[in-house]
Structure 1
Amino acid sequence: MISDSTKSLLSEDPAGLTDLGEFDVRGRQARTRLWSLDDERIMKQVRRPQDEALPDDEALPVPRD
């Protein structure tokens, strides 16, 4: 996954990116639009209905610096 701000810095619009929508990101005050490769495994995880969302400890890993 990449943020909208990262996507805007790319010299070319990459093929195969899917707009996942806006998300609350830890450490940010405003919601951030996220993009991902059009991968069925990722889409199943990200697009779950809220009542089926995974607990934080089972969610997709967040890259750390």
Structure 2
Amino acid sequence: MSDKTTFTVNDMTCGHCVGTVRKALEEALPGAEISVDLASHKVSFTGDRSVGEEAIKEAGYTPEAA
């Protein structure tokens, strides 16, 4: 599997946000290992970095390099 990518998503503020980001990544990167942590605002995933970044953006959030 490819390396893990981590972004900080500061505009992810609640459980609904976590679910939205996770769902967007699951749809964009089927089979990826995904970790979404609300407390630290960190989102990590395996797979194509640019595809994951775009999925987060399309879900309405702002990913920043962690």
TM-score by structure 1 length? Answer: 0.26
TM-score by structure 2 length? Answer: 0.26
More helix as a share of residues: 2
